[in-house]
Each structure stands twice: as structure tokens, then as C-alpha cells.
Amino acid sequence: MSFFLIKLIPGDPVRALLGPRASQESIDFYREQLGLNESLITQYVIYLGRLVRGDFGESIVFRGPVSELILDRTGPTLTLVIVTTLIATAISLVLAAIAARRAGDWTDRSIRISATIGLGVPQFWLGVILIIVFSINFDLFPVAGLGDGGWDSLSHLVLPCTTLAIPLIAILVRNLRASYLEGLGSEYAVFARSKGASESAVFWRHVFRNSVVPTLQLLGVNVGWLLGGTVVVENVFAIPGLGELLVNAIFARDYFVIQAVTIVFAISVVFVSLVIDVLTVLIDPRFGQ
Amino acid sequence: MIGTVTAPIRLVFGQGVEIALGTIIVVTFLILAAFAPFIAPYDPDFLNLGASLKPPSAEHWFGTDMLGRDVFSRVVFATRIDLLMGTVGVLLPMILGSTAGLIAGYGWGWVDALIMRLVDVVLAFPWLILMMAIIAVYSPGLVSFFFAVTMVGWVSYARLVRARVRVVKRADYVKSARVLGYGHARILTRHILPNAMVPALVFAASDFVLVLTAGSAVSYLGMGVQPPTAEWGLMIAEGRNFITTAWWIPFFPGMAIVLLAFGFSLIADGLSLKLGVGDA
């Protein structure tokens, strides 16, 4: 699908590559080399064949195989996504637990209102504001890039991950709180209480443990959204990841790169959903039926 | 603290505090948009290079940008384009998606299967990324954004409406309409549609938040609204090069997005609570 989408892009990639003053002979030569003279269907079949072998074609701008480019850029994006998911999940579990156990009082209300506000905070803005506050005013964290290993890299991750995590926390807290409240009112909670279990034992031993599956599923639903966020955050913090590659490729009309990045992102979403489905069944066999 | 703020509102509006507060916020923005020329003290595009990068003051409430344009006036005028972006960006996917969901849910096995496969394909892509890929096909701009958001956003509405239609079509009043001999078209539009649209309409309020942040993000990246138009996301992008000296250029447009989004989130929460649909 993304193959045909990309073919619709107006403009000649060869002309874009060689510049306006290129001779007609060299343009023809490159078109031939890139296989752009074949019919659309032939191009598609050749493309599919290559894709199966892990060959995404050549980048017009970087003049190298796209697969290498993708491998180079996957690390930063993956790091960003994994660190953010871990931090966001940990914080959300705690915040949602506090809110659910104190349902109705001011702590619950402030957590809920903050979460509602957090839903609509644009990441590109949050990133810029965090840079202004923590990098420029207080000089605590670096503005951009990845750092050169060890503590330096870690400190480079703080602001991008915070930016990415805050809206995710907002989504998770709202949903987890609802699922905790449902658990607290459920039959198994009533039964545990009737056995004489304390309210905190009911929560931590029963309700909290039952929230593992909803948490996993929530993460699965939001993985696409999280990946979309990396594009914006990598742009704000100049992180050389897949998202940054995509944005540059779009402006440079680097066909094969746009295609490849979009496909890699789609495969990741499908893969994560699959892993989460499997995990869900392993944890709670009732879902397998 | 929050209790003291919401308690009087709760007294007046009963349980619908969220809706009331959300509506107040949204209506305020509508007024800003409608009366922008009267509210904004300056022309939003008026260049005054002598007064560039001035911090907020009595003269320029939100300061001036790198070209000496009044940031407050630009934030006010941008309300027009951002409200338009959100509204059209919600309506088009809603119309396409609801129609698809209605057809898919009502019957005809293979049409249903086809539509749902399409939904699966779109859902496999992270939606901001698919949207950017579609915009890349055309030229950057608002029209491309509307097209992209429609191609990507319809799936949520299709799924919501389809699920409701499958329940509603078994209801007694639909059966009696069929017994009365009404045609498919009449049953679909008069009997099923009004009842199947409720969850989709509630979702539309929270979808506005998504579309607003996505649309301004696309503009921020340079693929949406183009300069010199005043748009919140674009203003934040323009302010990026001056963040060491002029925090006010990106700060205020962002606050506008957060506040408007908060208004719509409140309405969405209030509606889903009141109508008992969706996950509050």
C-alpha cells in the first residue's frame, strides 16, 4: 500500500537528485539504473521481491542502501520508546492507584484534572518548553542529540523521554483508574473483604494484580500513537532516529526511505500487538478462548 | 483547592460541571475567532522590525516575535484557523467513517468484510506517520492535511458506528419498522442512524483534541499550514530559533492549544459520563 502511495508523489526523483542543470543523458541513465522506466506493476513486483529479502532499495539522498540507514536509525528510536514506556507505566500505575484508593477526594481530583489536561498537551510544545526551562534557564540537561555514552547519554534522554511520557501517562492513568475502581467494586473484592482482609490487602493483592492485563492492552493500543510521538520528539531534540529520518526524507522526496520507514513502523505496530496478545493469553488463559 | 473552584459551578449546573466548564472554554475561543479583528490590538501580519523580540508588556501582552509582529494578536487570529482545522478535521472523518460503519454493520457479509479489512490496514500504521506519508504524496498545506486526516481518521468512527449498528438492528423498533414494510434506506437513516451515532458523537469531542494536536504538530513540522499565516503550531516552530532569548513566542500559542484541548476533553468526559458510553 505504501508503495503506491509514494509513487503518487509529484516531482521526478532523479531530477531532484541531480539538480536542475543536469543533462538529459545523465537523467536517462539514472532513471534506467533505478528501474523507474519499467511499468508500475513491474516496479511493484520487483519491489516486493526485494522487500522479502530485506532490501529496501537505495536512498537517493544518502546514496546508500536504505536497509543500512534504517538499522543505523533504529537504535535511538527504540531506546526512546522502551525507556518512555517503562517510566510512563511505572508512574501511571502509582498515580492511578493513589487516585483510585482516594476516589472522590482532592488528591484524586487533582490527579484526574492533570491527566485530562495532559491529554491535550502537544509534544512539540512541551519539548520546547522543557528545553527553555531545564536546558536554557537551569542548564541541567543538554538541548539536543544523543551524547557520547554512559551518563552523558542518559542525561540526553531525560527531556525527550519526559516529553514523550507525559501524554502517555495521562492516557494510562485515566484508564487504569477506571479499571481499579471496577476491581474495587467487583465480586472478588467483596469476597476478600468478607474474609476480613484489610482494604489495602484487597487492593494490592487482588485489584492491583488484576490490572496487569488491562495495562498491557492499553500499551498495545497506544503503541502506534507512541511511535507517532517519536517523530515529533526526535525533531524537537534533534535525535537521529527513524522519525527524524522520515521527516527529512519527506522534504527531500527520498522515495525509498519514506516507504521503508512507514513499513518498518507498521510492522512494529503489528509485531507489538501480536506479542501483547500472546502475553495476555499466557498471563490470563481466559483470553485464549 | 479544585473543590472550592468547582463547588459553586456544580451548584449551578448540577452534575454537568465538566460539560459546563468545557463549553465555557470552547465558547470563549469561538468568540475570539468570531471577533478577532475587534479583540486583537494589532494586525497579526503587521511587520515592525524595529520592535522585534520584545518581551510581554502593557503594549504587547504576549510580546512580539522575530519580525516584530504582536504575538497576542497572532494567537487570537490563529484561533480561526485552528478551530477550522479541528472542526473540519473531525467532521470529514466522521461522515466517511459513519457511512462506512453503517453499511458494514447493517449486513451484506462481503461489504462488511471488505470495510473491516481496510480498517485493519489503516490501523496497522501509526496514524501520525500514515498522515505524514499521505501529505508527502501531495503538497504541504491545509487541504492535504484534511485529506490525510480523513483517510486515517475514519476508521475509529467506522468501528464505533458498526458496533452500535449491529446491536441496534436487532432492536424491536427496527424489527417493527421492517414488518411495516419500510425500505432499507429508510430504516437505516431514520431508525438505526440516530441511535447508532451517540458513541460516535461523544468520541468526536475527544477526537477534536487528537486532530488539533496532530494538525498543529504537522504544521510545526512544516507540512501543514504555511507561513506567514498565524497558526499555533507554526508559531511554535517559528519561535524555536529564538528560545534562548524569547520564550514568549512558543509559550502562548502552546497554552492556547492546551486550553482549547482541555475544554474539549472536559466536554467529552462529561458527555460519556452522562450518556454512559465509552471509557470515561
**Quick check: B78 pLDDT over 70?**
yes
List the single residue in B222, B253, B258 with the smallest CB-CB distance to A121. Answer: B258
| CA pair distance B100, A121, nearest whole angstrom | 31
| CA pair distance B231, A243, nearest whole angstrom | 23
Whether residue A122 and residue B258 make contact (CB cut-off 8 A), yes or no, is yes
**Residues B133, B136, B139, B143: what is their CA dihedral angle, to the nearest 10 degrees?**
0
List the single residue in A6, A116, A225 with the smallest CB-CB distance to B266. Answer: A116
User: Which tens digit of pLDDT belongs to each residue from A124-138?
Assistant: 999 899 888 888 777
Q: What's the complex ipTM?
A: 0.84
pTM, entire model:
0.83
Answer whether A246 touches B (CB < 8 Å): yes
Instruction: Return the residue of A nearest to B239 by Cα.
Output: A128
Q: CB under 8 Å to B165, separation ≥6 — which residues?
A: B101, B102, B104, B105, B106, B192, B196
Q: Tell me the H-state helices in chain B.
A: 2-13, 17-34, 36-39, 71-106, 109-124, 127-137, 142-168, 172-179, 184-186, 193-196, 198-220, 232-239, 248-275
**Residues B115, B116, B117, B118: what is their CA dihedral angle, to the nearest 10 degrees?**
50
pLDDT in the model for residue B146: 94
How far does A133 lie from chain B, in Å, by closest CA? Answer: 9
**Residue B238 CA: distances (Å) to CA of A286, B12, B108, B213:** 53, 43, 51, 17
Identify the band that residue A238 occupies on the pLDDT scale cut at 50, 70 and 90.
Answer: confident
Which residue from B271, B205, B251, B265 is spatially nearest to B61, judged by alpha carbons?
Answer: B251
- Which whole number is the average pLDDT over A249-267? 84
Q: Tell me the H-state helices in A21-149.
A: 24-34, 40-52, 66-101, 106-119, 123-130
With contact defined as beta carbons under 8 Å apart, do B243 and A127 qualify? no
Answer whether A225 touches B (CB < 8 Å): yes
- Which whole number is the average pLDDT over A180-186? 82
**Quick check: B154 pLDDT over 90?**
yes
pLDDT in the model for residue A22: 59
Answer whether A262 touches B (CB < 8 Å): yes
| CA pair distance A177, A181, nearest whole angstrom | 6
In the predicted model, what is the mean pLDDT of chain A? Answer: 79
Instruction: Return the residue of A nearest to B6 by Cα.
Output: A109
For chain A, list the domains and their CATH numbers.
2-52 (no CATH), 66-288 (1.10.3720.10)
pLDDT in the model for residue A97: 87
| CA pair distance B242, B254, nearest whole angstrom | 15
pLDDT in the model for residue A1: 53
Which of A197-201, A271-275, B177-181 is the most confident on average? A271-275
User: Which tens digit of pLDDT belongs to each residue from B227-244?
Assistant: 888 899 999 998 888 888
pLDDT in the model for residue B173: 82
pLDDT in the model for residue B4: 52
**Quick check: B103 pLDDT over 60?**
yes
Answer whether A147 touches B (CB < 8 Å): no
Whether residue A250 and residue B223 make contact (CB cut-off 8 A), yes or no, is yes
How far does B94 lie from chain A, in Å, by closest CA? Answer: 20
**Quick check: A209 pLDDT over 50?**
yes
List the beta bridge partners of residue B64. Answer: B70
User: Which tens digit of pLDDT belongs to each residue from A66-120?
Assistant: 788 888 888 889 989 999 999 999 999 889 988 888 877 888 888 888 988 988 8
